[in-house]
A and B are shown apart, each in its own frame.
Chain A
C-alpha cells in the first residue's frame, strides 16, 4: 500500500552536523505543537492531564519524531498515515486537507477515544511530510465492551477539512455521536491549531535548509536511531529468556495468562508473545498498541536516549498469535487496552531481568488505574447536558538495582498528570477527600518497590462510575528476592449499590475509594552488604 507521490530529487547526503541540527529542529516542532494543543484545549483531560501526543511523519507514514508525551499513543500513529494513503488517492491531497480518524481496524487507532488529526505538509506543491496529533477525548462513556461497535463512533481516516474548508456535515455527524459535543468541538479546534503550527514550522525549516536536505537528514536520523539501538542491543548478552505472568482484571472472571520469549542475537531482538484468544471485553490490544509498548520498553532498557523515530524499530521483531488478546482482530473491543500494555511492558522487564539484571526494575504496579465519572448537569445554563471526568491514577514504580521504586507515578505506556483538586471540584460534582501514598504497598527488599496511591471521592450529585483497576487478585513481582507489591482495590460507602465489573452508580453523599497497586522490591531484604551501600 505504498502511496504514489511525485518523486523528489535525489537528496544530497547531509553531514552529521546538519543532521543533528535538523534533528533538534524536528523535536522543537513536535514539542511546540504539543504545547499549543494543551494550552488551547478545553477538556480537563487535555488541558490539565495532558493526555495527548504530537508527532511528525514522512510521506510514507514513518515516524520522524514523536514528542515526549504518551508512549502508547505511538500505537495510534503507526498505521494512521499508511491506512489513510491506502484509502485516499495521494494525487488528490491538497494543502489544508485535514484528516480525522480513530478506528482500531480501519483508522490505525488503538481505542476510539483517541482521535487523531493529520495534516499533509506541502513544499512547492509536493507532499513531503505529515503533522499528526492525537488527543484522548473523554467521551463515549457508559458503554459496553463486548465488541468495538459498542464502544463509540468508529471513524476511518476521512477529511474534516478539504483544502482549508471545514466539512461541516462530517463534523455534525461526529458531534452528534459524542456525549459532550461542546468539549469535543473545542478540543478538535485546539488539535487543528496545533497542526497549523506543525505545518508552518516544518515549512520554515524547509525554507531554511531546502526540503531535500531536510528529508535526507530525516532519513539519516532514522538510520541514526537504528544504529544507536543496535549498538545498545549488541551490549546485551545473546540468549533467549521466557517470562510469564497473569493479567487479572475486572472484566473477566479468570486471570488471563500472558507470556513472552525474548531472544537477543547480536544487534537484533525478537519478542514472541503467547496469549489466549481475544475476549468479549475491552482488554484486547491491536498489533499497533503491542508494537508501541514493545518499542517503548525496549528503548527504555537498551538506551533511553535513542531518538523516538521509526528507525529504532528496525532491529526489533515482534510476533503474537493473530486474534489473541495481544494482537486482536475485528470486531474485538479495545477500550481498556492500556491495562494490557502495562502488563506487557512488565512481562518484557521480567524476561530482560534475566539477561541484564542491572538495566531493569522490578515489576511496576502493572496497570493504569482508571476512574471515569459521568452524569448530567442538574442546574445552571447547561442543565441536562452530559459531563464526563476521566482520571488515571498512578501507582508504584518497580524497585531498581540501586534505589527504591518511585512512589505514586504513572508507569510505562502512559504518563498523564492528575487533575488538580481545585480544578476537579470546580468543574464536577465531586469532592476529593483523600489523596495519599499507601503505606506498606511497596514490595519489601534491599530496595523497596514504589508505593501505590489512595484516592477517595465523595459525590455531591448522582453520577455513574467506571473503575478499571488491576492486581486486585495477583501482585506485582519482585526481583532477586524482593517482595511483591500491594494489591489494587476499590470500595464504596456502606449502602451504595454494589458495582458490577467495575461499573456502578454513586448517589449524592456516597464515596468511592480507589487504591492502586504498589511495585515489586529488588533484592532480598536485610542484605547487609547492600544495606551498607545504601
Chain B
C-alpha cells in the first residue's frame, strides 16, 4: 500500500525529508488544505536517523500543532539521503569479498588500464574497494553466446565463502563473465554463498547491472556490495524510529533516477541511490516547470561548494545508464546530473601564468569568504558579490549575519593590483570566470548531448543559483530564467512531487530486421515482465501503473548506443520501420550523419515502471495587477558591467511579490534563503505559481 487510507475531514500530511551533511530539510504538505510548510534542523552525522526522527517529530508538533496528530495523519513519507554517497566519498563502506571468473582477480584494479591523469605523475586511482586477498577466482567460464565452456566449480565457491566468512567479510559481490547473457553460474554461486554466510549482504552482477562490458558491471556490483550493509543498517535504524513516531505508512527512499522505492527495495540496491540527494531537486524543478508550461528546462542548483546541472527535455529529465561517481564507474539508471566545483564559496586565485582562476577549492563555512571576517584573505565568489553590492553589503541571512565589505574590497583590490585591473572589474571578473565554469558544465549536458541550450529555460535554485542565473543564461544565450518560490528547500519539496520508479534492462544483440521480430518482441517482453512483477511487489494500484519502454540501438560495428523510445503496440514489421526512422533521426542529431547502408542493432531493452503517487499540488493564485510597488523594500547601489558603474537598484521582498506583478531590472529580490539578481535589460514577472520569471533581452 503506498497511499494512506482516506482520512476524511482530518488533515492528511505528505512529508518530505532531505537529509544532507549540514542540515536536514523538511517539507510538509496538507492534502486537505494544500498548505505547504517547510523547516530545517541540524543533521546528526553520527547517526542521521536520530536527527531525522527528531526533526520530523519537532517540526510536526511546531508547525501542525500537537492537536493535529500529524504523525498518525501522515499518508506518505519520502526521504532523500546522502548516506550512500558519503560512504563512497569517505571510503567507509563494508568489508567486501569478491568472486570472479578464474583468471580475472585483478580486473577490479586494472579497470580500463588508463592512468588517472594524463600529465600529473602523482595522481592516484580511487582506492580499490576490495583488497586483493578478498578477491577469489572461481573456475567457471561462459562463451559470449552464454554457452558453458567450463562448468562452475561449486567446491571452489564454497571454499572461498568459508575463507571470506573467516576473514570477517560482511558483503559479497559476484561477477562472472557473460552473466548478463546467462546468469546460471552466478545464481548457483550465490546459493552456495548464502548457505555458507548466512546474514551476509550478497549481490550478483546479473541482478544489479545485467549489461555488456565486464569492468563497468564489476565496478557496479562491487560498489553495491560496499554500500549494502551501510544502507541496510541505516534503514534498519530509521524504520523503527519512524514507526515509533506513529507513522502508519511505509517510508520511501529516493533513487538516483529521481524515483522513490520502498525502504526494503532500496536496501537491496544502494548503488542506485548514490545521486539520491540532487535528483530530488531536479524532480521538483520538473514538476514546477511542467505546471509553469516550460517543458524544456536546464536546472541549475548552486550551493556553497558546487553546482549541479541537469537537462529536462519535453518535461522529462534525461536519464543516463552509466556514469562515473566519485571515481567509480556505475551502471545504473541515474538522472544525467553533472556537478562542477563552482559555488559561492569557490576561491579566486591568480595562478603562476597570471590568469584568474575560480574554484574548485572552496572556503567552506570556516573561515568562509573574506567578508565573514573570520580570517580568510583569499576572495571568493561571495566576496565578489558583496563588493559589487549584488549581495547585501552589510548583512546576510535576513539580517542575521553581519558581513565586512571593506575586507572583501581589500582582498579583491590586492588581486586587481596583480592583474593590472580595476577593483570593480576584477570583482565582476570573478563572477565571469565562475560563470564560464558553470556554462561549461551546462554545455556537457546540452551541446555534448545534441541539445541547444538556447531552446531551454534555466531554472535556478540552491542558495546561490538565483544570484548567478541571469549571468549564466546570458553566457549560454538562454532568454528565460525561472526562480521557484522556495529555491533553498527545493530538494525536500521534490520528495513530495516524485513517483515510485524502477528501471529494468535486458541485453541482447539483435539486428533490427523483420526476421528478428519475434526475438526483439521476446527481449522487450522480458524487460517488461520485470516491470510488471515490480508493480506487484510494490503493491501499486492498477490505475497508478505506468510503463515506458526503450531500446538502445546502434549501427552494426559501433559500441555506443542511442536510446530510442518504443511506442505502445505490438512489435511488428511496421514498428521496426518506426524504430529505424527514430534511430536515424537520433543519430543525425547526435553525430550529424546517418549510414543508410549499415544494419541497425538492438542492444539493450529497457522497461521503466512508474507508480504514480498523489503529489503535493502546487497551488495557483490568481494574477493581480502589474504594479510591484507594494513589494519594494528599499534601494541600493549595485555595480553592473553594462555601465561599469554603480546604479541605483530597487530592492524587492520575495514574500511580498504576488502573481501578475511585473518589474524591470536593475532590481534585486531578497528572501531568507537566497537573493535574485535582475540586471539591467532583464524584465521580471511573477506567475500564478509564484515563480519569478526573468526575461532577458536578446
Residues of A that sit less than 8 Å from B by CB:
15-17, 19-21, 23-25, 28, 31-32, 35-36, 38-44, 47-48, 68-69, 71, 182-183, 186, 189-190, 192-193, 196-197, 201, 208, 224-225, 227-228, 231-232, 296, 299-301, 303-306, 359-361, 393-394, 397-398, 400, 402-403, 406-411, 415-418, 420-423, 425-426, 431-437, 453, 456
9 closest A-B pairs by beta carbon, nearest first, are: A228-B353, A304-B119, A434-B103, A42-B557, A17-B429, A417-B112, A21-B436, A231-B352, A394-B113
B499, CB-defined interface residue at 8 Å: no
Q: Which residues from B are CB-within-8-Å of A39?
A: 558, 560, 590-591
Chain B stretch 102-137: residues in CB contact (< 8 A) with chain A: 103-107, 109-110, 112-122, 124-125
| B214 pairs with A421, CB closer than 8 A | yes
Binding site for A on B (CB under 8 A): 103-107, 109-110, 112-122, 124-125, 143-144, 149, 177-178, 212-215, 351-357, 419, 421, 425, 429, 432-433, 436-437, 439-440, 443-444, 447-448, 477, 509, 555, 557-560, 590-593, 595, 598
When the two chains form the complex, which single residue of B351, B355, B593 contacts A192, counting CB atoms closer than 8 Å?
B593
Verify B595–A423 contact, CB threshold 8 A.
no
- Chain B residues with CB under 8 Å of A28's CB are 440, 443-444
Task: Determine if B213 and A420 form an interchain contact, defined as CB atoms under 8 angstroms apart.
Answer: yes
CB within 8 A of A68: which of B103, B118, B429? B118
- Decide if B559 touches A423 in the complex (CB within 8 Å): yes
In the complex, the answer to whether B115 meets A397 with C-beta atoms within 8 Å is: yes
Partner of A400, one of B112, B122, B178, B593: B122
**From residue A518, how far is it (CB to closest CB) to chain B in Å?**
14
Contact in complex: A418, B144 (CB < 8 Å): no
Bound complex: CA A306 to CA B353 (Å) = 8
Tally of contacts, chain A with chain B, CB under 8 A: 190
Q: Which residues of B contact A296 (CB under 8 A)?
A: 119
For the complex with contacts A304-B119, A432-B103, A436-B104, 9 further pairs of A-B residues with Cβ separation under 8 Å are A19-B355, A35-B448, A36-B590, A186-B557, A300-B120, A303-B352, A304-B121, A407-B109, A436-B103
Complex contact A231–B560 (CB within 8 A): no
Cβ 8 A contact of A408, one of B113, B117, B124, B592: B113
Q: Are B114 and A408 in contact (CB under 8 A)?
A: no
Taking a contact as CB atoms closer than 8 A, the residue among B106, B124, B143, B558 that contacts A47 in the complex is B558
Shortest Cβ distance from residue B85 to the other chain A in the assembled complex, whole angstroms: 26
Instruction: Evaluate whether A304 and B120 lie within 8 angstroms (CB atoms) in the complex, with A40-B591, A418-B110 already known.
Output: yes
Q: Which residues of B contact A306 (CB under 8 A)?
A: 353
Partner of A415 from the list B115, B357, B592, B598 (CB cut-off 8 Å) is B115
CB pair B352 A21 closer than 8 Å? no
Q: Are A228 and B119 in contact (CB under 8 A)?
A: no
Pick from B107, B352, B559, B590: contact of A44, CB below 8 A. Answer: B559
Assembly CA distance A343 to B436 (angstroms)? 40
Contact call B429/A48, Cβ cutoff below 8 A: no
Does the CB pair B559–A48 fall under 8 Å?
yes
Cβ contact of A410, chosen from B113, B351, B357, B447, cutoff 8 A: B113
A388 to B250, CA, bound (A): 57
A23 to B598, CA, bound (A): 38
- Bound Cα distance A177, B226 (Å): 52
CB-CB < 8 A to A196: which residues of B? 592
CB distance from B358 to the nearest CB of A (A): 9
Smallest CB gap from A460: residue in B? B143
Given A41-B558, A434-B103, A417 contacting B113 (CB threshold 8 A): yes
Does B429 contact A15, Cβ atoms closer than 8 Å? Answer: yes
For the complex, give the distance between the alpha carbons of A361 and B419 in Å: 35
Across the interface, name the chain A residue whose C-beta is closest to B430. A17
17 residue pairs bridging A and B, Cβ less than 8 Å apart: A25-B436, A36-B590, A39-B590, A40-B590, A40-B591, A227-B353, A228-B352, A398-B121, A402-B122, A410-B113, A415-B114, A418-B110, A420-B215, A422-B214, A423-B213, A423-B559, A436-B105
Report the minimum CB–CB distance from A400 to chain B (whole Å).
6
CB-CB under 8 A from B354, the residues of chain A are 16, 224, 227
Most buried by B among A42, A69, A361, A437: A42
Query: Which B residues touch A25, using CB under 8 A?
Result: 436, 440
Which chain B positions have C-beta within 8 A of A423?
Answer: 212-213, 559
Tell me the complex Cα distance, A23–B355, Å: 11
**Which residues on the A side are within 8 Å of B559 (C-beta)?**
44, 47-48, 423
Residues of B within 8 A of A228 (CB): 351-353
With known contacts A408-B110, A411-B115, A435-B103, A421–B177 Cβ distance under 8 A = yes
A186 to B595, CA, bound (A): 9
Q: Given A416-B114, A423-B559, are A435 and B122 neighbors across the interface (CB < 8 Å)?
A: no
**Inter-subunit contact B120/A20 (CB<8 Å):** no
A418 and B429 alpha carbons, distance in the complex (Å):
43
Closest to A296 in B: B119
A17 contacts B433, CB within 8 Å?
A: yes
Given contacts A19-B355, A20-B355, A47-B559, contact A420 B214 (CB under 8 A): yes
By beta carbon, the residue of chain B nearest A225 is B353
Please give, as numbers and ranges, the residues of chain A lying within 8 Å of B121 by CB-CB distance.
300-301, 304, 359-361, 398, 400
Cα(A48)–Cα(B213), bound, Å = 10
CA distance A360 to B113 in the complex (A): 21
CA distance A354 to B595 in the complex (A): 56
Beta-carbon nearest neighbor of A364 in chain B: B121
User: Contact between B558 and A417 (Cβ–Cβ < 8 Å)?
Assistant: no
Residue in B closest to A187 when the chains form the complex, CB atoms: B557
Residues of chain A contacted by B105 (CB below 8 angstroms)? 436
User: Which of chain A's residues has its CB closest to B560's CB?
Assistant: A39
A167-B356 Cα distance, complex, nearest whole Å: 46
Q: Is the CB of B598 within 8 A of A186?
A: yes
Q: Could you say which residues of chain A place their CB within 8 Å of the CB of B103?
A: 432-436, 456
Q: Is the CB–CB distance between A425 and B215 below 8 Å? A: no
Which chain A positions have C-beta within 8 A of B117? 304
Contact B143 A425 (CB under 8 A): yes
CB distance A437 to B106 under 8 Å? yes
